[in-house]
Every structure is written in structure tokens, then in C-alpha cells.
């Protein structure tokens, strides 16, 4: 890589880090300031809604299989149902994911 | 790991490592692909590993090597990759009520990827305050190292690996939707949140299928939030 490419790499790395860091620092200071002023340090409601909806959106995008054919979609559906079914019984994290991946793999391999 | 339990059966960082293990199923195959594509785009093994170490953001790394290889102006490469990562601005503020004033949180923000945010957003509220930094360190460092290791593997032997074990790319990535599902499903405890979550997920899926993967997450999240505001005072869906 030449110097300009290294500069681009450093800019992206620093910029990405700051995108993660600065909003956190801002919110931390904002909450501390509200507490100092005698109020209850609470996050804006829109932000508490945006957190779960971001995770739900990640779930939605991750469902789209790499190969968009009928078998991949069937495997995705079966894997999702098995993950959900095991979760409703165990209310845990590891086992539902493992069972979901195995179910997804079985359908992919068999069909 | 129980998603409703408060106590830890092991040290916090070990628990963090354990909770982050499902992430590897999604991280390693994608990192191997990135390593392979980066080498094919003309970057060296060391450069490829440094990109994963310091940028550490999947979609923007792929865009970076693709645009750089195509000869796009570097200022445009920087702007586009940062725009893709702009969704990260809501992650830190959402976690901040659960984090103490320890200065170690500042460097740890480097590890705040989509997946670590999703995991931490569900887990940190369940942990005692003293255990949170250890838990987050364990989870975030495992995810980061797996991304770097996967990249190195892809850069050195990606072609051979994916030819010999094509299922690495086909099956393991399902761990990610399975993980997101178990993280988000406890939120669906009333009709309002169930509708909000469902709309966000369906919108994101649709946008990605239509060919807009980079705006799918922020746009779908925004749609879900708007639905939440539109319905929150309607008696039929219940409160939150």
C-alpha cells in the first residue's frame, strides 16, 4: 500500500472508533449532568426504542441466506423455528442456537 | 447461559467469552471470506490483517478493499465506509446506563460491533455492575480476536479452505440469525413490542433482498421506532 492508502486506512479506523466512542461519552456526560442537577439520569425514550429495533433489524438482515434458493429459505425457516422452539422450552442462549444451526445444516445437507 | 438469570456461575470475563461463542459461527466464515477477497484485491497478508485489526467493521472493510481495488478516489472511500458505520452511533448511548465511569470502557468501545452491541444490550442489564466490564472484555476480545484470526486464515489459505470445506460458508453463518433471535425474542412481551420488532425485522429483510444491505439496519430500525410511537397510546396494543 502506498502512503495515501495507509492514510485512508488510518482515517477509516479512527473514524469508526470515534463513531463508537463519542456518542457513548456524550450520553455518559449527559446522564451525569442530569444527576448533578438533581434529576434522574434517564436516556431519551427514542433511544431506548431504537436499541431493540436495531437488534431486530440485524435479525432481519441476517435471515437472508447467501444463496437465495428454495432450499436455503426452507433451511432458514426450519432453523428459525427450531431455535425459537428450543428457546421457549429452555429460555437459554447456547442450546437454542446450537439446535438451530444443526437443524439448518441438516436441511441444507439432505435437500 | 440463562437469559433471565442474575448470578454468574464463573468469573465475568469467562462468562463473557462463553456468551460470545455463538458469534464465532458468524464471524469466522465472513472473516475468512474477507481475507480471501482482500488478497485477491491486491493487499498483502499483513495489510489485510491490519485492516481487520484496526477498522474491525465487516461491511465497510469489504467496501474499502473493493473501492480501493477499483481505483476510486480515496476521499470517497473514506466517506462511504464511515457512512456505512454511521449506525454505530446509537450503540454506545444505549449501553451507557449500564456502564460505570471506569476509563477502561473508552478503549473497549473499539469492540462495539453490531453483534457485540446486540449481545451486551441483552446481557449487561442482567449482570451485577461489578461484573459488567469483565464480561464485556471477555466477549468483545474473543469476537475481535476471532475476526483477526479468521481474516489471517482467509488471507493465507482461504481459497483452499472454502474448496475443501464449502459447508463452513453455508452452515455456520446461521448462528448469527439464531443468536439475534434469542436476544430479541424476550422483548416481545406485549403486542406493542411484538409488532415493533416484527416490522423492524421484516423491513430489514425486505430491504436487504431488494439490494440495499447497507441502509437496511438503520432504516428498518427507524420504521420500527415510528410504528412504536404511532401505536404506543392505542389501547388495543397495550403499553410497554
Q: How confident is the model at residue B3 (pLDDT cuts 50, 70, 90)?
A: very low
Q: Is A13 helix (H, G, I), strand (E, B) or coil?
A: helix
CA dihedral B60, B61, B66, B68 (to 10 degrees): 100
Tell me which chain A residues have a C-beta less than 8 angstroms from the C-beta of B207. Answer: 61
Helix axes B175-184, B114-123, angle to 10 degrees: 30
pLDDT of A66 over the 50 cut: yes
Q: What is the DSSP letter of B98?
A: G
Q: Is A74 on the interface with B (CB under 8 A)?
A: no
Tell me which chain B residues have a C-beta less than 8 angstroms from the C-beta of A36. Answer: none
Q: What pLDDT score was predicted for residue B5?
A: 46
Q: How confident is the model at residue A4 (pLDDT cuts 50, 70, 90)?
A: very high
Alpha helical stretches, state H, chain B: 12-40, 45-54, 58-69, 74-84, 91-95, 105-108, 114-123, 129-164, 167-170, 175-184, 191-209, 213-231
pLDDT of B8 over the 80 cut: no
Tell whether ipTM is more than 0.85: yes
Q: Is B1 on the interface with A (CB under 8 A)?
A: yes
C-alpha cell at B16: 463473557
Q: How many CB atoms lie within 10 A of CB B107?
A: 10
Q: How confident is the model at residue B7 (pLDDT cuts 50, 70, 90)?
A: low
Mean pLDDT on B77-85: 90
- Cβ within 8 Å of residue B163, ≥6 positions away: none
Q: Is B80 on the interface with A (CB under 8 A)?
A: no
For residue A58, give the nearest of B125, B229, B26, B147 by alpha carbon: B26
Mean pLDDT on B129-144: 96
Q: Which residues 86-125 of B have a C-beta within 8 angstroms of A? A: 86-97, 99, 101, 105-106, 109-110, 112, 114-115, 117-118, 121-122
Count the alpha carbons within 13 Å of B45 in the hemisphere toward its beta carbon.
Answer: 9
Amino acid at each position: 500500500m502506498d502512503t495515501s492508502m495507509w492514510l485512508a486506512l488510518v482515517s477509516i479506523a479512527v473514524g469508526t472508533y470515534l463513531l463508537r466512542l463519542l456518542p457513548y461519552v456524550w450520553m455518559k456526560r449527559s446522564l451525569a449532568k442530569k444527576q448533578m442537577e438533581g434529576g434522574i439520569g434517564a436516556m431519551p425514550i427514542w433511544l431506548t426504542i431504537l436499541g431493540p429495533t436495531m437488534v431486530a433489524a440485524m435479525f432481519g438482515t441476517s435471515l437472508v441466506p447467501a444463496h437465495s434458493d428454495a432450499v436455503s429459505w426452507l433451511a432458514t425457516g426450519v432453523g428459525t423455528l427450531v431455535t425459537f422452539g428450543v428457546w421457549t422450552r429452555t429460555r437459554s442462549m447456547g442450546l437454542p442456537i446450537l439446535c438451530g444451526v444443526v437443524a439448518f445444516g441438516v436441511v441444507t445437507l439432505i435437500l | 447461559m440463562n437469559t433471565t438469570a442474575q448470578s454468574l456461575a464463573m468469573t465475568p470475563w469467562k462468562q463473557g467469552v462463553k456468551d460470545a461463542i455463538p458469534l464465532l459461527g458468524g464471524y469466522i466464515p465472513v472473516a475468512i471470506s474477507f481475507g480471501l477477497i482482500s488478497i485477491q484485491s491486491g493487499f498483502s497478508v499483513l495489510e489485510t490483517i491490519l485492516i481487520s485489526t484496526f477498522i474491525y467493521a465487516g461491511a465497510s472493510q469489504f467496501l474499502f478493499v473493493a473501492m480501493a481495488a477499483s481505483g476510486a478516489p480515496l476521499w470517497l472511500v473514506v466517506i462511504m465506509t464511515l457512512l456505512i458505520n454511521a449506525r454505530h452511533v446509537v450503540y454506545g448511548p444505549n449501553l451507557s446506563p449500564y456502564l460505570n465511569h471506569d476509563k477502561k470502557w473508552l478503549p473497549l468501545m473499539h469492540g462495539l460491533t453490531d453483534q457485540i452491541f446486540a449481545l451486551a444490550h441483552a446481557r449487561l442489564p442482567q449482570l451485577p455492575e461489578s461484573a459488567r466490564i469483565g464480561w464485556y472484555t471477555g466477549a468483545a476480545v474473543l469476537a475481535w480476536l476471532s475476526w483477526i484470526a479468521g481474516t489471517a486464515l482467509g488471507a493465507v489459505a482461504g481459497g483452499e479452505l472454502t474448496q475443501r470445506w464449502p459447508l463452513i460458508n453455508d452452515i455456520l453463518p446461521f448462528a448469527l440469525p439464531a443468536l439475534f433471535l434469542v436476544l430479541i425474542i424476550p422483548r416481545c412481551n406485549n403486542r406493542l413490542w411484538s409488532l415493533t420488532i416484527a416490522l423492524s425485522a421484516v423491513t430489514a429483510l425486505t430491504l436487504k433482498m431488494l439490494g440495499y444491505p447497507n441502509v437496511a439496519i438503520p432504516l428498518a430500525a427507524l420504521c420500527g421506532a415510528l410504528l412504536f410511537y404511532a401505536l404506543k397510546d392505542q389501547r388495543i396494543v397495550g403499553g410497554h
